[in-house]
Chain A
């Protein structure tokens, strides 16, 4: 009996066959996709970066790869990918996707179709980054090689991860975050954008890597503001920082303030913004309170930092400038794009669900854009760095 059962188990394995069997050298590992649109034929042009091409250079080590970019066209993403598959001797494999780059045109026409395809695709990992190019073609961005990273797609991905830690204007938004904000009401999605600095043409050649100064490099840029799935436009640097400060995406930000004729700089670490909403007689009001600890990183003026009064004064100036940054972001979202990227709607949905439901349809255009938002900043400048005074004072 026992043996029969065991045999039965074995047979079930055999009956399953080799479902989903793929040898590693039969797949083309796509690490990045660039999606452009072709205006004339109204088709998508998809560029797939395949990373496991064998290096042609004889002196490279085992395991080093060269990337190949294959372009396909089609009315739908699936068709374009099929087109790529026809050009590739190996099966297109999407699980290791790191980055998807939309061109501005594609994003302006709405990304729903693409998002839908990627969500349905069972193989894809849903943790890749989405980026929008500013003024560039997505395929051009993919082609830029970096001497610091072996794989261009990894170059972009690690750039984002690193930048979110130290740069205030970049938001760490991956695909599933994007989809969540897209689906849930009360918040509009944002994405980071990407640019090429330098010469695009030479930057895609492998021999350009032999120079110590890269011919071209990719550069993360300002936030792209969406309304539903349609790109509205781009924020500038200050506005991007403001948005990220409000939505608590910032881990570190440097704030400048004027003093006398020069500048002083403070660094805020882990600023925390709390949004409180209230409804009085159908009149919605929003209060934002940002609290943060910070330290002075640069001091250009001749101030006595040992004096508590001076510190108070400096703190006030920094608080004002921080509030200005936030206000710039708010103004941009409310007036320029009328898109609730701050997630105020979601706050109302939680606190006043009936009110939100009533106004959900015209929330962005009529309610959000006219909201009164109060911003207050509470800074605590803890340390002055390794110096007590400005360096000129220390000398004397």
Chain B
């Protein structure tokens, strides 16, 4: 690095390719030339002028040989609410500049002072849009990394809460925090995750989902092995259960590991409602899980192979409804399923203003006109409607998509073999699920392997005063959730 500030400036300008948001100025302080520069786009004008008013312009004496150190300490003493660092390696300045720091070069010195003058580019904490609940905290994670950490830290004020930070992405230099509670979580798992993350050599990490593909490498299974959530309360519940959370800079979605099948049937709200109601809702979700998985397949099976399973009156009614439909039942079901998926996809992507048009087309054209035109029978519309409504009970996108995959699989089985096919498909499905594991935890735990204690908060939830221990599938140490104090009362 040159010691001449003009040359330094020229070099930096070349390196950043004369970016339009690069700002620099050369001042003279005493007899020294000082260069300061920052990216306007990520820096706050207020903070910079504030720091100049308080710092550089004030009148102090500098020793010739420790000019930079003196200036640094002076700034450190005057600007208390901002981060200050001395940069030794010149190539680091680009990272700091991108982070919103202002870098100060002093003529004739190698060391560079960096002062944080970050502009707030993030939205404020708002209500979760993808995981709405009725009762419970309303905040959700944002794109701001520190805010996200803060949302967790303010809920768990434990010194054992760890947030191990690493940087990933050669170009994005994204900060990633692996968060866990040290005396609850399985440290082998933490080590494993850190090792896996450190071994990733990728150019950029834009969203937390980039990591999820590396963290659950067995992609043959379509079921997700990690939860991604934007609810801080769910993250904190998981941390207390001994799970490990991964927070990624610029992502409102936090990853939670390990994730089991029952986790996707739960909602953070389950912890805020009466246990009996929660148990009912969970059984409802379990039923919906089966309905959304099997209804189209069972419909095809009973109407094309095993008609004797349908009550007489219903059978006659179904037969008359199908009278004018020219397609095979399986084709009819498949077409409507695909159309529904397209409708769902378009509903997500479409701007809100044109949204009503889509629902009119969807409801009228599919629901009514297609039936009247004799392309599909009304019962198939009902079947697909039930299937999709039950599918909407689950919030995790990956989980919903895996349900879709298996639903089509079951339809395929039913089309070929009827009820026998569904049974055979069911065997494959359960075998597949049972063979999955997430970081050594069986995916179907605590249902299989069955554990009565862990089952207190799986399909049903017992009252909190009976919920004394954490699930042994997640953590073996420090298992007590409910202390002795409670029993004395």
Contacts and interface: CB of A to CB of B under 8 A. Distances in A.
A51 B323 CA distance: 13
Chain B interface mostly = helix
B397 interface: no
Contact of B428 (A9, A52, A62, A95): A9
Contacts of B315: 24, 29, 96
A22 B305 contact: yes
Most A CB within 10 A of own CB, among B322, B323, B413: B323
Interface in B415-436: 416-418, 420-421, 424, 428, 435
B24 interface: no
A2 B417 CA distance: 23
A20 B316 contact: no
Contacts of A154: 312-313
A22 B316 contact: no
A133 to B, nearest CB: 22
Nearest to A20: B305
A156 to B, nearest CB: 13
A54 B421 contact: no
Interface string A24-66: 1101010100000000000000000001101100000011110
Nearest to A51: B316
A95 B378 CA distance: 24
B308 interface: yes
Contacts, number: 83
Contacts of B307: 22, 24, 27, 93, 95-96
Contacts of B416: 13-14, 16-18
B316 A6 contact: no
Given A13-B413, A13-B417, A13-B424, A25 B312 contact: no
A4 to B, nearest CB: 14
Given A13-B413, A16-B417, A52-B320, A21 B308 contact: no
A91 to B, nearest CB: 11
A151 B323 contact: no
B329 interface: yes
A194 B329 CA distance: 40
A2 to B, nearest CB: 8
B322 A24 contact: yes
B296 to A, nearest CB: 15
A7 to B, nearest CB: 11
Contacts of B417: 13, 16, 19
A54 B325 CA distance: 13
A48 to B, nearest CB: 14
A92 to B, nearest CB: 13
A151 B319 contact: no
B424 A9 contact: yes
Given A52-B320, A54-B323, A23 B329 contact: yes
A143 interface: no
B320 A21 contact: no
Interface string B297-325: 00000011101100011011111111101
B319 A29 contact: yes
A22 B330 CA distance: 12
Nearest to B421: A13
B328 interface: yes
B320 A96 contact: no
A52 B316 contact: yes
A240 interface: no
B334 to A, nearest CB: 15
Contacts of A312: none
18 contacts: A12-B424, A13-B417, A13-B424, A19-B417, A21-B304, A21-B305, A23-B329, A24-B303, A25-B325, A51-B316, A54-B323, A62-B378, A63-B317, A63-B320, A96-B315, A123-B308, A154-B312, A154-B313
